[in-house]
């Protein structure tokens, strides 16, 4: 395993997550590296991509969600193995936190007035669609901490 080196790697959209072993990993558009920059796994992609980490409840460890714009959404285990993936018109991937504190993968679909966040269960089953206002495309994080209160940042 060496450092991530390739002519198209840019490491965009980094997300830091605790690895559950007293250290951390960094997920970016290209893959996941440890704190020393050693690649743990890379995302094989041909177009713009993004990876976001999610710590599973209890001692479930880390899982990762990826999107390759505009066509693929997937879930990966901590070693990068694809657990599920499917095609669709996906623009972005993120983590949605509901009022109960449950964190779910969410994919942005559509543009402008037709933008929605499609929420998924961890097994990839579609759960709910949330219509997004036009300004939501400029938001990097959304949480719903209590019924009737939406936080956007």
Average model confidence (pLDDT) across the chain: 80
Confidence (pTM): 0.76
Residue 4: pLDDT band by 50, 70, 90 thresholds?
Answer: very low
The pLDDT tens digits for 18-42 are 888 889 999 988 789 888 888 899 8
57-84 pLDDT, tens digit per residue, is: 877 889 999 988 778 899 999 999 999 9
31-37, long-range: CB < 8 A, 24+ apart: 31/4, 31/80, 32/64, 32/80, 33/3, 33/4, 37/3, 37/4
Q: Which residue has the higher pLDDT, 144 or 125?
A: 125
């Amino acid at each position: 395993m060496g450092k991530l080196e390739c002519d198209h790697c840019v490491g965009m959209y980094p997300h830091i997550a605790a690895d559950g072993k007293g250290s951390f990993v960094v997920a970016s558009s290209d893959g996941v590296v440890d704190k020393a920059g050693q690649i743990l796994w890379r995302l094989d992609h041909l177009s713009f991509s993004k990876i976001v980490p999610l710590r599973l409840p209890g001692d479930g460890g880390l899982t990762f969600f990826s999107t390759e714009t505009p066509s693929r959404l997937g879930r990966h285990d901590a070693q990068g193995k694809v657990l599920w993936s499917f095609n669709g018109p996906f623009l972005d991937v993120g983590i949605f936190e509901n009022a109960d504190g449950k964190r779910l993968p969410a994919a942005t679909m559509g543009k402008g007035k037709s933008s929605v966040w499609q929420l998924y269960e961890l097994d990839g089953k579609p759960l709910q669609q949330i219509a997004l206002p036009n300004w939501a495309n400029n938001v990097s994080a959304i949480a719903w901490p209590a019924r009737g209160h939406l936080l956007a940042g």
